[in-house]
């Protein structure tokens, strides 16, 4: 049986030895068949071509990250985990941008810091905590930049120092 080859494959046939030609054709055919025949991977919940939840795993097989998509952009709560399985951070996305409160955790599970986002920029007071759960720092943000008086506390709760920022730059230092 003789099949008519495309000009690219005919050129490859003339240049490459026959065994390499078969290998190239076989790999190309296999990739084409897989891309057409298989749905999204088993770890992706498919609700349409642009709406799905992707999941990424550590080499150990444990879940590393899950990202929900809508219209091809992150939408909903994006989560990432330590390899131990403990939640590392979670951030709300709307139309592909961070929107709302984002939280990051110590591997112990205690809250490390929380930030409010508006239109993918930090907005409001970002709070950082000691692993004990006590407040460590309060940093005001406006339009994604530090703006206002940042306060840093000792673990016993006493105010340690204050730093003033305006439009992302330290003032009075």
Whole-model pTM?
0.69
Look at residues 140, 135, 128 and name the one whose alpha carbon lies nearest to residue 154.
Answer: 135
Q: Are 54 and 67 in contact (CB under 8 A)?
A: yes
Tens of pLDDT, residue by residue, the chain (173 residues): 444 433 333 433 443 444 433 333 333 333 333 333 223 333 444 555 568 999 999 999 999 999 999 998 999 999 999 999 999 999 999 999 999 999 999 999 999 999 999 999 999 999 999 999 999 999 999 999 999 999 999 999 999 999 999 999 999 76
Is the distance from CB of 113 to CB of 104 less than 8 angstroms? yes
Which domains can be identified in the chain, with CATH numbers?
Answer: 7-37 (no CATH), 45-171 (3.90.930.1)
């Amino acid at each position: 049986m003789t099949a008519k080859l495309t000009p690219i494959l005919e050129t490859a046939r003339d240049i490459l030895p026959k065994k390499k030609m078969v290998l190239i054709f076989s790999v190309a055919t296999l990739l084409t068949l897989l891309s057409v025949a298989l749905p999204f991977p088993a770890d992706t919940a498919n609700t349409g071509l642009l709406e799905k939840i992707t999941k990424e795993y550590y080499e150990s097989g444990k879940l590393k990250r899950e990202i929900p998509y809508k219209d091809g952009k992150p939408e909903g709560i994006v989560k990432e985990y330590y390899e131990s399985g403990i939640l590392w951070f979670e951030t709300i996305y709307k139309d592909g941008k961070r929107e709302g409160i984002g939280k990051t955790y110590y591997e112990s599970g205690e809250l490390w810091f929380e930030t409010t986002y508006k239109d993918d920029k930090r907005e409001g007071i970002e709070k950082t905590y000691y692993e004990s759960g006590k407040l460590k720092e309060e940093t005001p943000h406006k339009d994604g930049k530090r703006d206002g008086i940042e306060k840093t506390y000792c673990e016993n709760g006493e105010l340690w120092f204050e730093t003033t920022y305006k439009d992302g730059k330290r003032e009075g230092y």
